[in-house]
Amino acid sequence: MADLSKITCIEDLRVIAQRRVPRMFYDYADSGSYTQGTYRANEAEFQKIKLRQRVAVNMEGRSTRTTMVGQDVAMPVAIAPTGLTGMQHADGEILAAKAAQAFGIPFTLSTMSICSLEDIATHTDRHPFWFQLYVMRDRGFMERLIDRAKAANCSALQLTLDLQILGQRHKDIKNGLSTPPKPTLANLINLATKPRWCLGMLGTRRRSFGNIVGHVDGVGDMSSLSSWTADQFDPRLNWGDVEWIKRRWGGKLILKGIMDVEDARLAAQSGADALIVSNHGGRQLDGAPSSIEALPAIAQAVGQDIEVWMDGGIRSGQDVLKARALGAQGTLIGRSFLYGLGAFGQDGVTRALQIIQKELDTTMAFCGHTNINNVGTDILLPGTYPRPWHDRG
């Protein structure tokens, strides 16, 4: 394992990842839609929240352990589903899953991953992991994906609700994002500056969408795949589809992409086990509130009926603690683990998790708590944190 002891924060990993990952894939992970206002707000709104420091409190015996949908976790953090993870680093989804398994937190595989469901199951000795599903026009393919997730020993299904049409991401358009990258002059020049990445990719056969290629009639190469995905995301998604998927899956169901109290109530009524307050990392509706701003109203409205989690903008253990204080039973990280992966592979993901847990543990102690399950708004300075919208006068 590389000596990563001098890597002290997620920003350190981001800087190295930007240097090592090809531009189109780094930009794919580290950008938002349109003006990127919501993407930036996800981080900025966390920084406005101030913590109450307490003293002369016994800080021994601290624990960050809790549960997410009944699963014991080392801290209230799961790895979020992110597309093209295997393009940040060769076999990226496998490496991230192994790091998460060793650390004791859940890993979620995206439908649009490079490594397949079967790859993850094989390389984690069939240790349970989570799978993220999109609603597609081809219901037969969806049924087969759900069945494959069951066969791979997935213990929960995340259904993404906020990507039936794609938000415009300017950097992806300018970069001509494709998997694998097209051999244009600009791409070849950029790849020449990323020798570690190129060597890794030469050593793996996983360079396209592993859950799709070979599993859909007529999709055997990248040219047919691109047209298939453009046509497949179903804009007619409705709550009836959620009910159908719940019946077909039969296990723990998590609904991702909730930003409105009315939708949160419908999510709770659907019988799902958890919802994720999420604006898709600022990659869909630019101009939407930050996830942490939307969290308190949703947690207050439905927190007694369904587990409420959140993602978006989490770059530290302090962010996790603030989300927990505002009603999130759990959180998910996307970019924070991707930076680690792009920088140092599996070791980098492990380092990202270590950084977040250490910050969470230390900050919790400074705020007068030794058990993450007892943290509430008492750790926050009044007037600095978002309140439910209807309480704002």
pLDDT for the residue numbered 389: 77
| Contact by Cβ (8 Å): 107, 101 | yes
pLDDT of residue 180: 83
Q: How many domains does the chain have?
A: 1
- Each residue's pLDDT tens digit in the chain (393 positions)? 568 999 999 999 999 999 999 999 999 999 999 999 999 999 999 999 999 999 999 999 999 999 999 999 999 999 999 999 999 999 999 999 999 999 999 999 999 999 999 999 999 999 999 999 999 999 999 999 999 999 999 999 999 999 988 899 999 899 988 888 988 999 999 999 999 999 999 999 999 999 999 898 888 776 666 778 778 999 999 999 999 999 999 999 999 999 999 999 999 999 999 999 999 999 999 999 999 999 999 999 999 999 999 999 999 999 999 999 999 999 999 999 999 999 999 999 999 999 999 999 999 999 999 999 999 999 999 999 999 976 765
Residue 82, domain member (yes or no): yes
| Catalytic choice (127, 215, 280, 390) | 280
22 in a structural domain: yes
Residue 4 falls inside a structural domain = no
List the CATH number of the domain containing 204. 3.20.20.70
- Binding residues for FMN are 81-83, 110, 160, 256, 278, 311-315, 334-335
Cβ atoms of 345 and 89 closer than 8 Å: yes
Give a yes or no: residue 5 inside a domain: no
Q: Coil, helix or strand for 73?
A: strand
Question: Can you give the residue range of the structural domain that contains 49?
Answer: 10-391
Give the residue from 84, 139, 77 showing the smallest Cα distance to 111.
84
- Using an 8 Å Cβ cutoff, are 98 and 125 in contact? no
> Does the residue 314 lie in any domain?
yes
Q: Judge whether 3 lies within some domain.
A: no
Q: How many CB atoms lie within 10 A of CB 31?
A: 18
- Residues paired with residue 156 on neighbouring β-strands, in sequence order: 130, 252
Question: Each residue of 262-316: pLDDT tens digit?
Answer: 999 999 999 999 999 999 999 999 999 999 999 999 999 999 999 999 999 999 9
Q: Does residue 263 sit within a domain?
A: yes
Residue 2 included in any domain:
no
Q: At what angle do helices 10-20 and 335-344 cross, to 10 degrees?
A: 50
Sequence-distant (≥ 6) Cβ neighbours of residue 144 within 8 angstroms: 215
Preceding omega of 106 cis (within 30 degrees of 0): no
Average predicted confidence (pLDDT) for the chain: 95
- Going by the annotation, the residues of the binding site are 28, 81-83, 110, 132, 134, 160, 169, 256, 278, 280, 283, 311-315, 334-335
Amino acid identity for residue 108 in this structure: T
CA neighbours closer than 13 Å in the CB half-sphere of residue 325: 28
Residue 280 catalytic? yes
